[in-house]
Structure 1
Amino acid sequence: MAEKQGDECGSFSAEEVIAKFERLTRDAAAVQRETLRRILADNAGAEYLRGLGLGGRTDPDSFRACVPLATHADMEPYIARIADEGDTSHVLTATPVTSISLSSGTTQGKRKYLLFNDDLFKCAMQTGQTSFAFRNRAFPVEDGKSLQFIYASRQFKTKGGLTATTATTNVYRHRDFKAHMRHTQSECCSPSEVLFCPDFAESLYCHLLCGLVLADDVRTVSATFAHSLVLAFRTFERVWEELCADIRHGVPSPTRVTSPAVRRAVSALLVAPNPALADEVARRCRGLVNWRGVIPALWPRARYVSSIVTGSMEHYVKKLRHYAGALPLVALDYGATEGMIAANVEPREPPESATFAVLPNIAYFEFIPLSLRGCDVAGAADARYTEADPVGLTDVAVGEHYEVVMTTFAGLYRYRLGDVVKVAGLYNSTPKLKVVCRRNLVLSINIDKNSEHDLQLAVDSAAKVLAAGAGRLEVVDYTSHADVSRDPGHYVVFWELSAEPDGDGHVLQSCCDELDRAFTDPGYVGSRKARAIGPLELRVLRRGTFQKVLRHYLSLGSPVNQFKLPRCVAPSSSAAGVLEILAANAVEAFFSTAYD
């Protein structure tokens, strides 16, 4: 008999959690059929399903025959009735909608509304509990705390009266969150007032301060995204002396920590002046070379560092390793605002090799087989794919690429997630997925089609040229833009570097040429040779430019916990402000000579 989705955590040990996962994945096909049956039976009265003629049937064949594949645009009118009109009838689900989850909006330029309910919370907790159990078996942590750089996001009421915020904040604010926390990770160093602080910079500063005060208790260091961890320690490089002063005097900085509730909570941790600890932190900081290994230096009892490192976060892995020293980097789970998908059950694998085993009872999964028209799949963009009919979870082929389709307990039916994954292997009978890229197109001017992954590969290739130069510079971050303001249009790649590029013009010109050559899509190469696309432009930005971009998105309501720098700035209302920031902070520009 298939086990139900979202069983309560209770007091299960890690080995019991792992044993449950083993049972679920031995016959994933049966678990999937039962999961679909439950979703359809529970929501048989939902207007969306009634209108498709299922007639109460719950088998996969009937479901696929009656229910079409859907995108967010297809679901949006139904979600809007719930969110904006306050429609409490069974529009998409019979289960009450408790709140609205918002996507980040940094990738597509528009925040999506999605439904959140208790079932989705239970799925998230089960996924976290599973990965924590495997993580704790690989890196045992019997006691202690976790230094977590996590931030609750702003909340607002929709026109229909529902609270809207990020999916992670919906999880944090759930009535059962604290009860589940002890089964999914170590206790956070920071009090909840820091987590819910409305000012991101203040919250980040306090996370660092609390982590230093409780350094002997820290066993893990984590954040939702690798970007957040790198940002935290780049910030630490600038403010460590202020943190030492706070510890020395026993009070948080009055300019850094202004919220009364946060000051009270953090002051309670500081308790009293501690000059000995302040001196020790300062001694360790001064002993570091270029901040390499700062995490184990300051938190010597930490066992590992964890965050999401896939997709657009891969760029930050190198810098994260720099800060982590010899500590293992552990990839966190695979999920989306729409729902969780898979857990990392092999936490010893390095981020570049990380795969995620699908939990077969948290949603019903299908996979659209993808093949390419004569191109290497690693650089696939949407327009270069051909599709076949979706297959079930246990019908996928190892080594092949697919788009993920989800049917959830929160009102999404055959929903195209837009993620491209590769089936890297099997865990019992459930697939292990490697995240490849988003299907949405990144760069295109003529007949060229380049994805986010294509851009990343080009930047990585050019960054090697940069690192080999005399200045040993690094690419801190990057984005791009397809400039069609003049004919022919051309690609613009924006780089922020680790130091000012004085005297490195020749090296940067070589980087620009390498960027241009590294886009190997035949449509791009042909268009460049035919002069239908102009020479690629590399613009070097002032240091701190991408911090300004982050603040711009935060000012528009984007959540820092979900922030992902858009790798292509496409035309949109939010992009106009980003392009203005990038243009105003460009200090040098180089044009490719690769096709001259």
Structure 2
Amino acid sequence: MLPRFDPTNPKACFSLLEDVTTNVKQIQDSVLEAILSRNAQTEYLRGLLNGRLHKQSFKKNLPIVTYEDYRSYIDRIANGESYDLICDRPFSLLLASSGTSGGIPKLIPLTAEELEQRILFASLYAPLVFKHIQGLSEGKSLMFYFVTRESETASGLLVRFMFTCVLKSVNPTNSFLWDRIQISPHEILTCADTTQSMYCQLLCGLLQRENVARLGAPFASSLLKVIKFLEDHWQELCLNIRTGCLSDWITDPQCVSGIGKYLTCPNPELASVIEQECSKTSWEAIVPRLWPKAKCIEAIITGSMAQYTPMLEFYGGGLPLISSFYGSSECFIGVNVNPLCKPCDVSYTIIPNMGYFEFLEVEKDQQEEVAHDSAKNHAVVDLVDVKIGHDYEPVVTTFSGLYRYRVGDVLRVTGFYNNAPQFHFVGRQKVVLSIDMDKTYEEDLLKAVTNAKLLLEPHDLMLVDFTSRVDSSSFPGHYVLYWELGTKVKDAKLKPKPEVMEECCFTVEESLDAVYRKGRKNDNNIGPLEIKVVKRGTFDELMNFFLSRGSSVSQFKTPRSVTNKEPLTILEAAVVSEFVSRKTPSWEPHELHSNR
């Protein structure tokens, strides 16, 4: 685990970062030894190791597992059995995952000690941003966070999402420490009504616009939802500022109390400045226009979030986009030690103290096989043995009771920081679309859509969000993409030209791999790809559906493929126009790729 250090002392943070990324092998060996010795008497380890706690026995006797393999143990604990089924100390709560797999959260055990480690992990990263970006200490952070209503298991064990957990771990009596660095008061951030909280966070940010040094949200998608909310509500926000009176529909006591610290009197001058910027024809560079002293935008912009980068760059007007760290509900894993790098170049340096890390090597033509078998026939290597340019799925063993647990992501090794490997986040370990012999992975689909949406730019159009499915109702089956479009020019009509959208369809197909393109050459295998444009706000409605099923606003990620009836019904009801690829993509045997 991370040794204790003073998170307010940058020198201590940098010294620790250098130490842990240099002594990687020793730390990893000691982490595994500590986990095994502490948890040796748990039912899970006792049954598999029989007291043999050395590394060789661990690798030989413990299977590599997925959540489904482990679910029975977590269900037993959730229903009231003892924590010592898998861990030597009690769980403070169960973490609900972000719902990457179908929008249904998994439940991940978390001890109080592990939560403390994750907060230290974030503290270790913070000085890096201040080192690379001058002037951050001259203002506060406008970070948009949202809590999700917590629940309990049958035995009374608390269930929370990670960001809710962090926000509610702040002692209310010491929340003034939080308020020293954050624009929005802690009480507003912990309001359970997301709409009221978002409105009041924006109002706080606008009232203190000259004091905002950086702004952001956990994910690029959630920050864009905040900007869209601002587009819909700026006139009302300006009215509140002009009159000094809060809108009547803001009734949550925490929001009313929190905003009361700043909305103290009419400020017509400020309202006029904001109105002038928001009423302009284009919202390009709206972030620095509204917050002129902002130095950067922070949000995760890797993996499936990469497709939102152009929109953030449009609204950000040249402000650096910083993707801070890589982690999951199961384990916090790595930090970005070069925060000013280009979004496409972001790599995360593994912090070896956070758990014991192994890596299951992934070759693209084996991904589906790897994803569904026991992984016994595939290379599993330690952290120090990964190779540059190779792709891996992380397998984590944690202090909170996960053993050789597959995270489900694909990471590509890009280099080393001291002796710690650096990884680029590629995507999820999952085929999202398949009809015949074709297997289109999340990474493939993201690249294809990225190529196609470039065709929208000359027409002042932007891709707001997208998802996909396979339509097998006709023969042959074909891929369907649902696109929500936006405009760069305010109040412009959203009516894309058919020839542009048909070329987008073709560009997506041309960007997919040779197996797909060969299937398209034979009309009996795969039919022409279709893009269905949906009305504005459709993906907000889709998000609301998943939120109603237990997902979280702060951690929600749009699924890149949908198969369930309810979300498909939402999408189909919102279709305003449909376009089909009119050309057949080329296929050449030499274009086949053997791996990533």
Please indicate, yes or no, whether the TM-score normalized by the shorter chain is above 0.5. Answer: yes
Contact 1:492 1:536 in 2 (8 A): yes
Residues 1:493 and 2:488 are matched in the alignment: no
> Offset at 1:370?
2.0
Residues 1:19 and 2:19 are matched in the alignment: no
Contact 2:104 2:550 in 1 (8 A): no
Residues 1:148 and 2:143 are matched in the alignment: yes
> Offset at 1:336?
0.6
Match in the other structure for 1:446: 436
Aligned length: 575
**CA 1:106/1:62 → structure 2, altered by over 3 Å: closer, same or farther?**
closer
**CA 1:11/1:315 → structure 2, altered by over 3 Å: closer, same or farther?**
closer
* Aligned match for 1:219, one of 213, 229, 254: 213
In structure 2, C-alpha distance between the alignment counterparts of 1:24 and 1:148, rounded to whole Å = 29
In structure 1, C-alpha distance between the alignment counterparts of 2:403 and 2:344, rounded to whole Å = 32
Q: 1:290-329 residue pairs with structure 2 within 5 A?
A: 290-329=282-321
Match in the other structure for 2:49: 53
> Offset at 1:343?
0.8
Indicate the RMSD between aligned Cα atoms, in angstroms: 2.3
Q: 1:507-586 residue pairs with structure 2 within 5 A?
A: 507-523=500-516, 525-526=518-519, 528-570=521-563, 575-586=564-575
In structure 1, C-alpha distance between the alignment counterparts of 2:176 and 2:94, rounded to whole Å = 22
**CA 1:210/1:323 → structure 2, altered by over 3 Å: closer, same or farther?**
same
Residue 225 of structure 2: SS of its match in structure 1? Answer: helix
* Aligned match for 1:350, one of 313, 318, 342: 342
**Deviating more after overlay: 512-521 vs 163-172:** 512-521
In structure 1, C-alpha distance between the alignment counterparts of 2:169 and 2:253, rounded to whole Å = 24
Q: 1:64-75 residue pairs with structure 2 within 5 A?
A: 64-75=59-70
Residue 137 of structure 2: SS of its match in structure 1? Answer: coil
**CA 1:177/1:97 → structure 2, altered by over 3 Å: closer, same or farther?**
farther
Amino acid at match of 2:9: S
Amino acid at match of 2:94: I
> Offset at 1:501?
4.4
* Aligned match for 1:480, one of 462, 468, 473: 468
* Aligned match for 1:278, one of 260, 266, 271: 271
> Offset at 1:268?
2.3
Percent of aligned pairs with the same amino acid: 35
Contact 1:421 1:433 in 2 (8 A): yes
Contact 2:103 2:551 in 1 (8 A): no
Match in the other structure for 1:122: 116
In structure 1, C-alpha distance between the alignment counterparts of 2:478 and 2:464, rounded to whole Å = 23
Match in the other structure for 2:445: 455
Residue 253 of structure 1: SS of its match in structure 2? Answer: coil
Contact 1:123 1:340 in 2 (8 A): no
Contact 2:6 2:13 in 1 (8 A): no
Contact 1:26 1:429 in 2 (8 A): yes
Is there any run of 5+ residues in structure 2 with no aligned partner, and where?
A: 488-492, 586-596
Match in the other structure for 1:160: 155
> Offset at 1:453?
1.3
Residues 1:367 and 2:359 are matched in the alignment: yes
Match in the other structure for 1:423: 413
**CA 1:416/1:106 → structure 2, altered by over 3 Å: closer, same or farther?**
closer
> Offset at 1:154?
1.1
In structure 2, C-alpha distance between the alignment counterparts of 1:176 and 1:259, rounded to whole Å = 20
Contact 2:468 2:482 in 1 (8 A): yes
- Post-superposition Cα deviations, 1:502-540, rounded to whole Å, max 9, x if no partner, equal 361121122222222322241553355252222211111
- Post-superposition Cα deviations, 1:23-47, rounded to whole Å, max 9, x if no partner, equal 1111100010111111111111111
> Offset at 1:245?
0.9
Contact 1:328 1:348 in 2 (8 A): yes
Residue 433 of structure 2: SS of its match in structure 1? Answer: coil
In structure 1, C-alpha distance between the alignment counterparts of 2:496 and 2:143, rounded to whole Å = 40
> Offset at 1:9?
4.6
In structure 1, C-alpha distance between the alignment counterparts of 2:238 and 2:338, rounded to whole Å = 38
- Post-superposition Cα deviations, 1:539-589, rounded to whole Å, max 9, x if no partner, equal 11111111111122222221101110101002xxxx321111111111111
Residue 152 of structure 1: SS of its match in structure 2? Answer: coil
> Offset at 1:180?
11
- Post-superposition Cα deviations, 1:176-230, rounded to whole Å, max 9, x if no partner, equal 79979969x9722112222122222221111110011122221110100001111
In structure 2, C-alpha distance between the alignment counterparts of 1:11 and 1:479, rounded to whole Å = 40
**CA 1:556/1:388 → structure 2, altered by over 3 Å: closer, same or farther?**
closer
**Deviating more after overlay: 43-52 vs 523-532:** 523-532
Residue 241 of structure 2: SS of its match in structure 1? Answer: helix
Residues 1:404 and 2:394 are matched in the alignment: yes
In structure 2, C-alpha distance between the alignment counterparts of 1:7 and 1:416, rounded to whole Å = 26
Is there any run of 5+ residues in structure 1 with no aligned partner, and where?
A: 374-379
In structure 1, C-alpha distance between the alignment counterparts of 2:532 and 2:385, rounded to whole Å = 46
Match in the other structure for 1:32: 28
Contact 2:188 2:197 in 1 (8 A): yes
**Deviating more after overlay: 209-218 vs 118-127:** 118-127
Amino acid at match of 2:482: F
Residues 1:244 and 2:238 are matched in the alignment: yes
In structure 2, C-alpha distance between the alignment counterparts of 1:166 and 1:133, rounded to whole Å = 26
In structure 1, C-alpha distance between the alignment counterparts of 2:206 and 2:259, rounded to whole Å = 12
Q: What's the TM-score once normalised by structure 1's chain length?
A: 0.92
In structure 2, C-alpha distance between the alignment counterparts of 1:89 and 1:11, rounded to whole Å = 31
**CA 1:425/1:396 → structure 2, altered by over 3 Å: closer, same or farther?**
same
> Offset at 1:466?
2.7
Match in the other structure for 1:377: none
- Post-superposition Cα deviations, 1:276-319, rounded to whole Å, max 9, x if no partner, equal 22222223434x55111111122222221101111111111111
In structure 2, C-alpha distance between the alignment counterparts of 1:70 and 1:389, rounded to whole Å = 15
Match in the other structure for 2:194: 200
* Aligned match for 1:62, one of 57, 66, 83: 57
Contact 2:7 2:123 in 1 (8 A): no
Residue 77 of structure 1: SS of its match in structure 2? Answer: helix
- Post-superposition Cα deviations, 1:142-185, rounded to whole Å, max 9, x if no partner, equal 243110111011101111111112122122222679979969x9
Amino acid at match of 1:591: V
In structure 1, C-alpha distance between the alignment counterparts of 2:6 and 2:398, rounded to whole Å = 24
* Aligned match for 2:127, one of 116, 133, 136: 133
Residues 1:588 and 2:577 are matched in the alignment: yes
Amino acid at match of 2:10: A
Contact 1:367 1:405 in 2 (8 A): yes
In structure 2, C-alpha distance between the alignment counterparts of 1:353 and 1:69, rounded to whole Å = 31
Residue 142 of structure 1: SS of its match in structure 2? Answer: helix
In structure 2, C-alpha distance between the alignment counterparts of 1:199 and 1:461, rounded to whole Å = 38
Residues 1:41 and 2:37 are matched in the alignment: yes
Amino acid at match of 1:60: K
In structure 1, C-alpha distance between the alignment counterparts of 2:196 and 2:183, rounded to whole Å = 15
In structure 1, C-alpha distance between the alignment counterparts of 2:173 and 2:438, rounded to whole Å = 49
